[in-house]
């Protein structure tokens, strides 16, 4: 592995970045994947691999090659949180059914120590959640200091399914975009690095993936007859996603648009975005809050 020792040795130095600066990308992944203002979802190629010079095999190899660095940076973040630090990372995965959210949790987030991961998936609100403001359950699920939080779906459902299925009247969801922007701004100010990812799957690929679920008894549990209803409202969903990108793609909490028809690419893209967020924290190892020499002497005397 290219990224140096697993536990970083005794030094306070930075985790070693692996090999060449761009690692097979034409430009840094956060740059190519960041949703530009005015992005037209209808024209977005969901089978594309933007910015990536190679194919699947090289993509999978890079994920594997970066795994050690990802894991070490996560451990540094966790150590910082244990030592009085207040920073955390939150990965928001938003996408239609079959867009690969679960696979990313398993294959990308699964590369780090589960002890330091705060994972939460958001389904139909429970009766208790429904009695509260829509951000109530989201606030409770935010990662503690030192953790990588992962949202499989998120508060964005409250301007997606809530809008498309008219769960609340337009004057209610209409106000939520600004409210979400303020919420995220405060979150970032409080020390959470927010990585928002829209996983964009094509309707054809979704159909194929749903059909596969019906072909395999081991996938029946993932199939929900309601998914077909959501497909029937595909264009309404796309409009709602477009509004999310138009109205919540802020400077402090930008969206990344990740084509999701090729699972390997979506996994590569998210692993690189997560790695970038961790690298930018410039994480060291916490200094000892005891005298190392004294402790060594005491131990040797036992
Ligand atoms: P899954 O991710 O396949 O387990 O499905 C979760 C379901 O919960 C999806 O159909 C979402 O649209 C739905 N869901 C998530 N959040 C909300 C919400 N705030 N209001 C209504 N439905 C929601
Ligand atoms: Mg589902």
CA distance 210 to 230: 12
296 Cα to the center of ligand 1, angstroms: 54
**CA of 95, nearest ligand number:** 1
Angle at 167 between CA 157 and CA 133, to 5 degrees: 65
Q: Which ligand is nearest to the CA of 105?
A: 1
Which residue ranges have their beta carbon within 6 Å of ligand 1? 97, 122-125, 153, 157-158, 161-162, 167
How do beta strands 117-121 and 148-152 pair?
parallel
Taking phi over 0 as left and psi of -120 to 50 as alpha, with beta for the rest, 234 belongs to alpha
Residue 258 CB: number of other CB atoms within 10 A? 27
Q: How far is the CA of 102 from the centre of ligand 2 (A)?
A: 10
Which residue's alpha carbon is at the smallest distance from atom 4 of ligand 1?
A: 123
Q: What is the pLDDT of residues 43-60, one digit of tens each?
A: 999 999 999 999 999 999
What is the rounded distance in angstroms from the CA atom of residue 200 to the CA atom of residue 111? 23
Rounded to whole angstroms, what are the CA distances from 264 to 47, 87, 144, 248?
Answer: 11, 30, 30, 27
Q: Which atom of ligand 1 is nearest to the CA of 224?
A: 3
The owner of tokens 């207040």 is: 86
The predicted structure's pLDDT at residue 17: 54
Q: The whole model's pTM is what?
A: 0.93
| Number of the ligand 1 atom closest to the C-alpha atom of 123 | 8
Instruction: Give the number of the atom of ligand 1 that is nearest the alpha carbon of residue 222.
Output: 3
Residue to mutate (ligand 1; options 161, 164, 226; most atoms within 8 A of CB) = 161
27 and 39 Cβ atoms separated by less than 8 Å: no
Spatial distance between the Cα atoms of 242 and 182, rounded to a whole number of angstroms: 19
Q: How far is the CA of 117 from the centre of ligand 1 (A)?
A: 22
Distance of CA 116 from the midpoint of ligand 2 (Å)? 26
- pLDDT score for 295: 98
| Closest atom, ligand 1, to C-alpha of 152 | 2
CB 188 within 8 A of CB 29: no
Record the tokens describing residue 176, joined without a space. 């939520």
pLDDT of residue 21: 76
Instruction: Tell which one of 95, 105, 119, 122 to mutate to probe ligand 1, the residue whose CB is within 8 A of the most ligand atoms.
Output: 122
For atom 12 of ligand 1, which residue has the closest CA? Answer: 161
- Supply 73's token pair: 């940076």
pLDDT for residue 240: 98
Given this model, what pLDDT does residue 52 score?
A: 98
Low-confidence stretches of the chain (pLDDT < 50) are: 1-12
Closest ligand 1 atom to residue 134 Cα is: 19
Ligand 1 centroid – CA 8 distance (Å): 41
Q: How far is the CA of 223 from the centre of ligand 2 (A)?
A: 7
């Amino acid at each position: 592995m290219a990224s140096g020792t697993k536990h970083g040795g005794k030094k306070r130095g930075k985790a070693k970045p692996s090999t060449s600066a761009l690692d097979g990308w034409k430009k840094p992944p956060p740059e190519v994947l960041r949703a530009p203002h005015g992005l037209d979802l209808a024209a977005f190629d969901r089978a594309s691999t933007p910015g990536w010079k190679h194919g699947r095999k090289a993509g999978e190899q890079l994920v594997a090659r970066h795994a050690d660095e990802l894991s070490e940076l996560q451990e540094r973040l966790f150590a910082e949180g244990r030592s009085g630090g207040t920073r955390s990372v939150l990965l928001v995965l938003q996408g239609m059914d079959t867009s690969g959210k679960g696979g990313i949790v398993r294959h990308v987030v699964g590369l780090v120590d589960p002890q330091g991961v705060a994972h939460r998936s958001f389904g139909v609100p429970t009766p208790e959640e429904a009695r509260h403001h829509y951000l109530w359950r989201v606030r409770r699920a935010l990662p503690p200091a030192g953790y990588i939080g992962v949202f499989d779906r998120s508060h964005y459902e409250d301007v997606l399914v809530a809008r498309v299925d008219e769960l609340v009247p337009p004057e209610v969801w209409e106000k939520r975009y600004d409210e979400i922007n303020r919420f995220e701004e405060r979150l970032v100010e409080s020390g959470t690095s927010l990585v928002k990812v829209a996983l964009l799957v094509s309707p054809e690929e979704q159909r194929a993936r749903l059909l596969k679920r019906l072909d395999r008894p081991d996938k029946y549990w993932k199939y929900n007859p309601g998914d077909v209803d959501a497909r029937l409202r595909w264009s309404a969903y796309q409009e709602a996603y477009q509004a999310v990108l138009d109205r919540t793609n802020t400077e402090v909490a930008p969206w990344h648009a990740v084509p999701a028809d090729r699972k390997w690419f979506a996994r590569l893209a998210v692993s690189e975005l997560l790695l970038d967020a961790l690298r930018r924290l410039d994480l060291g190892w916490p200094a000892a809050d005891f005298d190392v020499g004294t402790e060594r002497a005491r131990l040797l005397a036992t």
